[in-house]
Amino acid sequence: MRVLMVAPPGAGKGTQGALIATHFGMPHISTGELLRDHVARQTALGQAVREHLERGELVPDQIVLDMLREAMIAAKAAGGGFVLDGIPRNMPQARAAYQMGCELDMTADVALHLQADDGELVRRLLARAALEHRSDDTADIIAQRLALYYEVTSPIVSWYRDRGILVSVDAMRSAQEVGREILAALEAMRSLLDYVPAQARHSVDLTGLGEAFGATGSPAGTSD
């Protein structure tokens, strides 16, 4: 199974991505971790990343995509499954990642969309900033990050919905509740992937499932 995560800051994608990877025994490809690893190992890509970071610039898409290709080739050799966390962040990245997946026969089966209210996302991010003693995650900066996410990510969500691979989950509950729902949904879908052609698949909205069954769990404490 191949899963990519789509979620605003604070929705818990890192936590849930790690859970999915562990449960299914497949690589958790985090672009943030890839960047840090290449910098630490002082690879050619790492040197390029360091230069951009030292100048206070965003890492160009092509550098991130080159790292992603390397990780996806390794994932294919390891069995073909993956959880992708941190990309795509914009439509050009989404299209490039899809093209890469087509070339490697590694396109995503599921685009997992974690949804949470802005107020809860801000609460989680401020709590994390206080816990980690970070002065850069203020309420104003968090608001800017969320605004940017909605501006560039909304078309991505619609694109995955049109492809029939979007699975939307309510991330307002505890991490344990959200994780159980995600794993149950993915387990159910895994058995169908070999029998339902990609063009015949439909997006799934699970955001009302907890309410339908009377769930009253407290908001999740994760902030990835």
Q: How far apart are CA 72 and CA 88, in angstroms?
A: 14
CATH number of 2-31+81-211, picked from 3.40.50.11540, 1.10.260.40, 3.30.70.420, 3.40.50.300: 3.40.50.300
Taking a C-beta distance cutoff of 8 angstroms, is the pair 114, 7 a contact?
A: yes
Q: What is the pLDDT along the chain (224 residues), one digit of tens a residue?
A: 999 999 999 999 999 999 999 999 999 999 888 888 888 899 888 888 888 777 767 788 888 898 899 999 999 999 999 999 989 988 999 999 999 999 999 999 999 999 999 999 999 999 988 998 877 678 888 998 899 888 888 889 999 999 889 999 999 999 999 999 999 999 988 877 765 666 656 677 777 755 544 444 444 455 56
Which pLDDT does position 138 carry in this prediction? 87
Q: Is the dihedral of CA 194, 176, 8, 23 positive or negative?
A: negative
Taking a C-beta distance cutoff of 8 angstroms, is the pair 5, 110 a contact?
A: no
Which pLDDT does position 136 carry in this prediction? 66
**For the chain, what are the domain ranges?**
2-31+81-211
Which pLDDT does position 218 carry in this prediction? 44
Which pLDDT does position 177 carry in this prediction? 95
Enter the pTM of the model. Answer: 0.82
Structure tokens at 140: 């104003």
Which pLDDT does position 54 carry in this prediction? 73
Q: In terms of DSSP bridges, do strands 166-170 and 110-115 run parallel, antiparallel, or are they unpaired?
A: parallel
Structure tokens at 43: 């690879």
